[in-house]
Amino acid sequence: MKISIIIPAYNEEKRILNTLESYSSYFEKLRKKNKLNYEILVAINKTNDRTLKIVKSFKKKNKRIQYINLPKGGKGYAITEGFRVLLKKDFDYIGFVDADMATSPEAFYDLFLNIEGRDGIIGSRYLPGARVNPKQSLQRIIVSRVFNFIIRSLLFLPYKDSQCGAKIFKKEAIKTVLPTLTMSQWAFDIDILYNLKKFGFKIREYPTVWADKEYSKINFMKAGPKMMLAVIRLRILNSPLRDMMRVYVLFRKKK
């Protein structure tokens, strides 16, 4: 089996070296034991710090570390461009994980081991058996649960945690849904899960081990409204209202 792991990286000079060292060391041991072959693709998106320099330097130590340097930002955009690169290569699975090590390499590999014939698997912090350390604040839990309720209500997705940063999919599943993805940032995870469901792919949600990090880049109070609008837009684009929306856009352009 061969897997490629995409790590989107925006101004990650404080964390990317530790992440690459940890993932590289762990997956090298698996490769040498003939358990799993791998590649790590760092999708550097519009960085203006030393992230690129650090990745280039580490790549010299391990030829299985690759990178792309993208001209504009957005986590979803970086992962999507990573998909485009990897679909041209010989991999059985394509996954992605955040650069902050909230998901350890051990936890990521545990996801892989538990796909169990499905077309993919996503980590969950809210299923029984999940371990979150340190525990999330009450405010963050409330915001997350309200957001998840709205996602489940509008898009009929069965997952309790669509936003966990660790996901793995079969290459064929990614190849099928890639042309349908429209969200580049705020609702990317929801967009890909929605389209996988629409095409009939079976995705397992599995309890994971997740560690909250001090330097989280997401302010949920500020990002929440943007994420909500993105979900509503996704719902409209996948409903009869999409044609009315296109007419309105054309009308506005003519004016």
pLDDT of residue 252: 46
pLDDT of residue 229: 72
Q: What is the mean pLDDT of each run of 10 residues along the chain (255 residues)?
A: 96 96 98 97 93 96 96 88 96 97 97 96 96 83 82 88 95 96 78 95 97 60 66 71 50 46
**Domains identified in the chain, total number:** 1
Q: d(Cα 136, Cα 117) in Å, to the nearest integer?
A: 32
Residue 166, domain extent = 2-254
Strands (E), the chain: 2-9, 37-45, 65-70, 93-96, 120-124, 131-132, 167-170, 203-207, 209-210
- Find the CATH number of the domain harbouring 30: 3.90.550.10
Q: d(Cα 218, Cα 200) in Å, to the nearest integer?
A: 31
Burial class, 220, CB count within 10 angstroms (exposed 0-12 / middle 13-18 / buried 19+): middle
CA 50 to chain CA centroid, nearest Å: 23
pLDDT of residue 255: 47
Residue that is written with structure tokens 């030829």 in the block: 63
Ramachandran angles phi, psi of 90, nearest 5°: -95, 85
pLDDT of residue 51: 96
Q: d(Cα 171, Cα 87) in Å, to the nearest integer?
A: 7
7, 99 Cβ separation under 8 angstroms:
yes
pLDDT of residue 247: 46
Alpha-helical segments (H) within 199-240: 220-237
